[in-house]
Amino acid sequence: MAPKTSSQEYHIQRTATFVEEKLKGAESGHDWWHILRVWNNTKLILKEEDADAYVCELTALLHDIADSKFHGGDESIGPKVAGEFLASIDVDADTIEHVQNIILNMSFKASLGEVHFHSKELEVVQDADRLDAIGAIGIARAFNYGGFKNREIHNPEIPFIENLSKEAYKSTTAPTINHFYEKLLVLKDKMNTPTAKKIAAGRHAHMELFLQQFYGEWDGDL
Ligand code: ADP
Ligand code: NI
């Protein structure tokens, strides 16, 4: 894939500044630091995968710009805000449409339903986002989320549910450890690109080790 032009680099920097400003102080699961990590994961994947870096990086930066959760579940709000910003800095219409299509289709929840759009760039950014939900960062994010929701860290009497439905995933109040089995440990097999699969394997092993230690300490065995 051709290297980025200087005007493309400029658009990416302008976008980063816009997103950082907008997501400063956002809830910590989707704050600027999450975006920065997903952007970095994207660049890491692009070292080995052949995809349009311009589209991938713009999308990584804009993928959580407006959360439908705070807009009555309206999934079109993110693509709309992203598109308006990109148009304001004169990004071309094809790129804007591609970025919007990816944002609309890449969430874990959307991937449980019907797939409407597909591209190599979607694969890369979706992998980059999913990588931020596993490994050491994934563990920290899960317990942070659980604490925010006032969930127990673990309760051996509450079994985890395999293949949670879309509705159940959204409304579960189970302890945070259950989230590992319901989502985090299955993510490595959902990676699209071989490069992300390799990165995910390392991060997955880290979570397995954590769980082993966790149960050892829980039972007073270690
Ligand atoms: P995404 O950004 O992938 O759409 P979510 O908004 O569902 O993810 O979640 C944001 C972060 O919070 C992720 O790291 C996710 O693992 C974590 N999270 C979501 N639901 C739960 C849950 N029920 N228990 C613990 N962590 C959760
Ligand atoms: Ni995200």
Domain count, the chain: 2
Residue ranges around ligand 1 (CB below 6 Å)? 29, 107-108, 133, 138, 141-142, 145-146, 172, 176, 179, 183
Instruction: Determine the pLDDT at residue 113.
Output: 62
Question: Which of 145, 176, 177 to mutate to test ligand 1, by most ligand atoms within 8 A of the CB atom?
Answer: 145
Looking at the fold, whether 180 and 70 belong to one and the same domain comes out as no
Looking at the fold, whether 111 and 21 belong to one and the same domain comes out as yes
* Ramachandran angles phi, psi of 26, nearest 5°: -70, 165
Looking at the fold, whether 99 and 159 belong to one and the same domain comes out as no
**For residue 21, is pLDDT > 60?**
yes
Looking at the fold, whether 176 and 72 belong to one and the same domain comes out as no
Domain boundary among 89, 117, 145: 117
Domain boundary among 117, 143, 170: 117
Distance of alpha carbon 130 from alpha carbon 132, whole angstroms: 5
Q: Take atom 3 of ligand 1 and give the residue whose Cα is closest.
A: 108
Looking at the fold, whether 142 and 72 belong to one and the same domain comes out as no
Output the domain CATH number for residue 31: 1.10.472.50
Per-residue confidence at 114, pLDDT binned at 50, 70, 90?
A: low
Output the domain CATH number for residue 170: 1.20.58.1910
Structure tokens at 149: 């929701």
Distance of alpha carbon 194 from alpha carbon 168, whole angstroms: 30
Task: Tell me if 93 is assigned to some domain.
Answer: yes
Distance 204 CA to ligand 1 centre (A): 16
Query: 218, 145, 214, 132: which is closest to 179 by C-alpha?
Result: 145
Looking at the fold, whether 109 and 145 belong to one and the same domain comes out as no
Share of the chain above pLDDT 70, in %: 93
Instruction: Determine the pLDDT at residue 109.
Output: 56
Looking at the fold, whether 23 and 96 belong to one and the same domain comes out as yes
Distance 142 CA to ligand 1 centre (A): 6
Instruction: Determine the pLDDT at residue 115.
Output: 59
Looking at the fold, whether 75 and 2 belong to one and the same domain comes out as yes
Residue 107 CA: which ligand is closest?
1
**For residue 139, is pLDDT > 60?**
yes
Torsion on CA atoms 115, 132, 162, 143, rounded to nearest 10? -140
Distance 80 CA to ligand 2 centre (A): 17
**For residue 19, is pLDDT > 90?**
yes
Looking at the fold, whether 111 and 138 belong to one and the same domain comes out as no
Per-residue confidence at 110, pLDDT binned at 50, 70, 90?
A: low
ipTM: 0.96
Query: Tens digits of per-residue pLDDT, 185-196?
Result: 999 999 999 999
Per-residue confidence at 75, pLDDT binned at 50, 70, 90?
A: confident
Residue 133 CA: which ligand is closest?
1
- Residue 216 lies in domain: 133-222
